């Protein structure tokens, strides 16, 4: 049986509960693509991208929480390896959704800056975890 630290167990439990929020986003997306909620083509594509990134990054983030348990990383580096992808699972979808908000929007708002920020956090998390696993 896999033994998790309390931090990993609690993090994974909270993340699994957050899947309900992703489901709610999916219900909203169905309303958009069935024209029950008015949206431009740009908004529809950004809402789809935000929803897809949330789902994929949450799954990858849970895997990273588990894999971080097999490293010797400590402190900030352990936190980054275990949760960097999960942070990006919040920041990147927020960038997609927030930058598409507004009636009739055809191009992203300034909130689009969250996309590269999330990408940097994602890269930092997976690189740190990869190096930690190779050095363990």
pLDDT (0 to 100) of residue 113? 98
Give tens-digit pLDDT for 88-103: 999 999 999 999 999 9
Query: Domain residues of the chain, as ranges?
Result: 6-135
Give the pair of three-digit tokens for residue 102: 């507004």
Burial of 83 (0-12, 13-18, 19+ CB in 10 A): buried
Q: 45-85: per-residue pLDDT in tens? A: 999 999 999 999 999 999 999 999 999 999 999 999 999 99
Distance of CA 30 to CAs 27, 36, 105, Å?
5, 8, 19
**Residue 36: other Cβ atoms inside 10 A:** 10
Q: Is the pLDDT of residue 2 over 80?
A: no
On the question of pLDDT at 125 being above 90, the answer is yes
Cα distance between residue 100 and residue 16, in whole Å: 26
Q: State the virtual CA torsion across 72, 77, 78, 80 in degrees, nearest 10.
A: -150
């Amino acid at each position: 049986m896999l033994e998790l630290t309390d931090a990993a167990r609690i993090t994974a439990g909270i993340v699994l509960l957050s899947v309900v929020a992703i489901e709610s986003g999916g219900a909203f997306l169905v309303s958009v693509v069935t024209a029950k909620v008015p949206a431009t083509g740009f908004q529809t594509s950004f809402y789809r991208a935000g929803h897809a990134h949330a789902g994929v990054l949450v799954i990858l983030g849970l895997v990273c929480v588990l894999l971080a348990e097999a490293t010797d990383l400590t402190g900030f580096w352990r936190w980054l390896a275990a949760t960097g992808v999960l942070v990006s699972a919040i920041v990147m979808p927020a960038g997609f959704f927030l930058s598409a908000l507004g009636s009739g929007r055809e191009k992203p708002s300034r909130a689009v800056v969250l996309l590269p920020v999330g990408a940097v956090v994602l890269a930092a998390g997976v690189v740190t975890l990869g190096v930690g696993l190779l050095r363990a």
